Amino acid sequence: MTTQQPFTFFLNQFEARIEGVEPLVRRLSSLRGQFLDQSAFDAILAQGDPMLYKVYAVDRPGVDGELSSGLTILHPGKVGDEYFMTKGHFHAVLETGEVYYCLGGRGMMVMETPEGDWHVAEMTPGAVVYVPPRWAHRSVNVSIAEDLVFFWVYPANAGHDYGAIERQGFRKLIVAQEGAPAIVDNPRWLPPAQR
């Protein structure tokens, strides 16, 4: 057994980055099929491929006991009436949870279980959202102009399973209705027994 050495990294909250870490960038094109309004999606892509979010990950070896952590910056914007969001995933090791700590902006975390239970949690500065084992999670920026910035920690051996979400999305969508975010049903979503 090897003994890991303690280390420190610096999260620059004001510049929304982690010192010395290259971010992973996700653009709109990587969420093809996720936004309900396909023609609005195509219209934005025809003008370019905007960056939706950046992820600064301090990854650790994927073994029992290790924790990965990092910072995500999700930009504001909409595709049709639907706010910019992350792809969303289950953890490949389903029985692993995650903690999110919101540092800035205004958002919602959409969650669901494989059985179709759902929950939406508000993300505002200071909010710590606990994602229990088995819950898929997606972050949504519901602000008009501000970035949604959050820190997260999860077991380094959890892995990511994007497949189920890529196929039919989450049960609930977050859309702008009369200027305010609303939780609505995703018409593409089917209960587990009908898939």
* Residues within the interface to ligand S6P (CB under 6 A): 26, 55, 70, 72, 86-89, 98, 137, 139, 152, 154, 160
Indicate which of Zn ion, ligand S6P, none lies near residue 147 (CB less than 5 to 8 Å, by partner kind): none
Cβ density class 93-123: b for 16+ within 10 Å, e for less: eeebbbebbbbbbbbbbbbbbeeeebebbeb
To ligand S6P, the closest distance from the beta carbon of 152 in angstroms equals 5
Indicate which of Zn ion, ligand S6P, none lies near residue 86 (CB less than 5 to 8 Å, by partner kind): ligand S6P
To ligand S6P, the closest distance from the beta carbon of 3 in angstroms equals 26
Binding interface with Zn ion (CB under 5 A):
98
Order across the sheet with 172-177: list the strands. Answer: 78-79, 82-83, 172-177, 180-185
To ligand S6P, the closest distance from the beta carbon of 72 in angstroms equals 4
Indicate which of Zn ion, ligand S6P, none lies near residue 55 (CB less than 5 to 8 Å, by partner kind): ligand S6P
To Zn ion, the closest distance from the beta carbon of 154 in angstroms equals 5
**Backbone CA torsion sign across 51, 56, 62, 66:** negative
At residue 192, φ and ψ (nearest 5 deg) are -50, -40
Q: Cβ neighbours of residue 6 under 8 Å, at least 6 residues apart?
A: none
Indicate which of ligand S6P, Zn ion, none lies near residue 88 (CB less than 5 to 8 Å, by partner kind): ligand S6P
